Each structure stands twice: as C-alpha cells, then as structure tokens.
C-alpha cells in the first residue's frame, strides 16, 4: 500500500497487525536498501493467502527523501533495486498488487514503470480525467528518460452513472485517442451501498453486491 491515507491497509489489516512499517523503510537511506529485506515488512491480513505491506503517513515524505538522498540518475531505478534485492520474495507470490496514491509521487512512479500493467480507475469528474492525462504524461516522460517501454495501461470507469457527465468524459477520451485503453466493463454507482462505508469482504457475501462482483470478475478476466 503506497497510499499515505492507507485505506486499503485499514480494510485488510488483521487485529494483530499494525501499520508502523511501510515501504518508506526501504528508501529512508541508501544503506536501508542493502540491510532491510522486504519480507520483514510483510504481514498477513485477515484474509487467507493475502499478505500486505501497509501504508502510513510516513509515505508523504517519500518525495523529499528520494530527492534528497538519491541522485537524478538513481531516482527512477529505486524500484528496480528493491526488486533485485528481494527477487525471491516477489516471485514467491502469484500476484503483487500495488495500491497507488491519487497524487503523483516519486516512489509510486518507480513502481508504476516496472509494473506489468497499470489499472487506472476514473469516474465522471473532470479532475479524474485530468489525473489520467497527468499520469500518462508523467509515465511517458519518465520512461523516455530511462529508455524504458511504457507499461501496459488499462482504464476502467468506476462508480459512475449513466448521465451527461459520463458521456462528456467519454467524449474527451475519444477526442484524445484514449479509448483504446478502456476496458469493456464498467463499475456503476450503487444507490444501495456507500462503498467507503462497507467492509471490503462484504462484496463477496452480500447478495446486493452481485452485479458489482460480476463486473469485477469480468474486468479481471478481460485484463488477463
């Protein structure tokens, strides 16, 4: 969890868990990369077969730390260094999913550019669309700077309604030739449940979430 708000961590963390150690521990100094193993930051969640490295407020300092400690040439290879030093741990998992913060930060960009693919949820707001454009431009810039291929990007409409706002955002995507990034499935707004007020696990057990659950499964299948 690379989001300082740590919403995902709060949803997944077990009663015995804590959010004291985030990924910031690995970039706090150049020596940290050598001496701290990522497996020491991993903890089990309350769900079987799902582990987590929690987020916390310390992640808000990541830009300052990275720009102070690391040279310009090193700033966008930090994730490569972390992966290389912990390859066995990474490869022991079927999937490594990274929750990125809504604002662009150096540590998140590091992991975005080494990801197999990036899923970007957007809603029907202008701010969400601008965020998509800003992120894509940033990824293009950093990948060119480091002679990398752009990671595969998928965009999904999330928590939307069938109205003129959604139509307007879709027209902007068409205008800027971004529809090729869109997945076919969308996740619509629910008038029955407020998504931030319900346990993450309840989506799989509550009958009223059937449509959302089906949509998510179809989306995962499409992305694969």
Q: What is the pLDDT of residues 70-83, one digit of tens each?
A: 988 888 999 999 99
Give the tokens for residue 133. Answer: 């454009």
End-to-end Cα, the chain, rounded Å:
22
Quote the mean pLDDT of the chain.
84
Q: What letter would DSSP give residue 28?
A: S
- What pLDDT does residue 29 have? 85
The per-residue pLDDT for range 171-180, each reduced to its tens digit, is: 888 888 888 8
155, 163, 167, 159: which is closest to 195 by C-alpha? 159
Query: What pLDDT does residue 178 have?
Result: 86
Give pLDDT, residue 44: 93
CA pair distance 205, 47, nearest whole angstrom = 14
The model's pTM: 0.79
Mean pLDDT score, 107-128 = 88
Higher-confidence residue of 200 and 11: namely 11
Going 158 to 170 to 136 to 59, the CA torsion angle's sign is negative
Over residues 130-157, the mean pLDDT reads 90
Neighbouring C-beta atoms of residue 55, cutoff 10 Å: 23
User: Does the pLDDT value for residue 200 go beyond 60?
Assistant: no
Helix 126-145 with 164-175: angle, nearest 10 deg: 30
**Site of tokens 């969400």:** 128
């Amino acid at each position: 969890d690379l989001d300082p708000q740590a919403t995902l961590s709060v949803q997944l963390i077990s009663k015995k868990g804590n959010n004291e150690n985030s990924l910031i521990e690995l970039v706090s100094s150049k020596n940290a990369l050598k001496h701290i193993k990522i497996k020491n930051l991993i903890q089990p969640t309350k769900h079987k077969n799902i582990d987590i490295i929690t987020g916390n407020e310390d992640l808000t300092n990541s830009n300052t730390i990275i720009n102070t400690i690391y040279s310009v040439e090193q700033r966008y290879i930090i994730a490569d260094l972390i992966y290389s030093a912990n390859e066995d741990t990474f490869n022991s998992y079927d999937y490594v999913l990274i929750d990125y913060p809504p604002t662009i930060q150096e540590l998140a960009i590091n992991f975005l550019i080494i990801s197999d693919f990036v899923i970007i949820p957007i809603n029907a707001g202008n701010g969400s669309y601008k965020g998509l454009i800003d992120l894509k431009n940033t990824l293009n810039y950093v990948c060119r700077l480091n002679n990398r291929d752009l990671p595969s990007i998928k965009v999904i409409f999330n928590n939307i309604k069938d109205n003129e706002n959604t139509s307007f955002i879709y027209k902007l995507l068409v205008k800027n030739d971004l529809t090729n990034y869109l997945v076919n499935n969308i996740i619509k707004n629910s008038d029955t449940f407020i998504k931030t007020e319900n346990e993450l696990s309840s989506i799989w057990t509550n009958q009223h979430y059937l449509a959302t659950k089906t949509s998510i499964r179809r989306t995962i299948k499409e992305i694969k």
